[in-house]
Chains A and B, each alone.
Chain A
Amino acid sequence: DTEVTQTPKHLVMGMTNKKSLKCEQHMGHRAMYWYKQKAKKPPELMFVYSYEKLSINESVPSRFSPECPNSSLLNLHLHALQPEDSALYLCASSQDGTSGELFFGEGSRLTVL
């Protein structure tokens, strides 16, 4: 069982909708990540939070807005998405961001109509 919990597991939204993806971990990790994964491709890094501060933004469009309310929670707010944004969105955490040992959640499968 994964110790990183993501909700919802599946999400279908229109291009004018506003929705959020949520991620939670209780391992005491201080780094949390959002990855985007298209079919048959590796995960692509979107954002990294380290000690609740945004430390990496991989030039992600502003229609994706991350938020880290506390060290256990990570949100990804979605607004005015495009169909090409449909993908599996993976949340991950690591102890302090200095190693590549990431714990991934099961992902949120997003479909944009």
Chain B
Amino acid sequence: GQQLNQSPQSMFIQEGEDVSMNCTSSSIFNTWLWYKQDPGEGPVLLIALYKAGELTSNGRLTAQFGITRKDSFLNISASIPSDVGIYFCAGHFLPGGSQGNLIFGKGTKLSVKP
């Protein structure tokens, strides 16, 4: 089946630093999405990308849909303690126009030192 390779697996950074994580796939997707999950909570959608080459920002977050449709990256600028959590990339495809399928990466655990 389709798999997403997400890296890095974990990051330990100092508050104020910028963060970058990425996801690659052997298959193309219609949509790339980035979710964040805090402990004891469900994932929350951060950014959705719909077109190859698209670059989208949401506050301090910036994400891009790779031109080949097989990759995406997420940048977080000037990290703060509440950025701590697990970030999941996800690829979405629509086989034959029917019910879509969402594939998650394995996650990047972010720790921020104040």
Show the binding face of A for B, using Cβ within 8 Å.
2, 4, 31, 40-43, 45, 48, 50, 55-56, 90, 92, 97-107
Contact = CB atoms under 8 A, between A and B. Distances in A.
Interface string B40-54: 111111001000000
A4 to B, nearest CB: 8
Nearest to A9: B40
A contact face: mostly helix, strand, loop, or mixed: loop
Contacts of B40: 106-107
B42 A92 contact: yes
Given A42-B88, A42-B106, A42-B107, A97 B100 contact: yes
A90 B31 contact: no
A-B residue pairs, 9 tightest by C-beta = A100-B92, A104-B42, A42-B104, A55-B99, A100-B102, A100-B33, A100-B31, A104-B43, A90-B42
Given A41-B106, A99-B31, 20 more contacts: A31-B99, A41-B107, A42-B88, A42-B105, A45-B102, A56-B99, A97-B100, A99-B100, A100-B48, A100-B90, A101-B33, A101-B45, A102-B45, A103-B45, A104-B42, A104-B43, A105-B42, A106-B40, A106-B42, A107-B41
A101 to B, nearest CB: 6
Contacts of A56: 99, 101
Contacts of A43: 43, 88, 104
Contacts of B101: 45, 56
B94 interface: yes
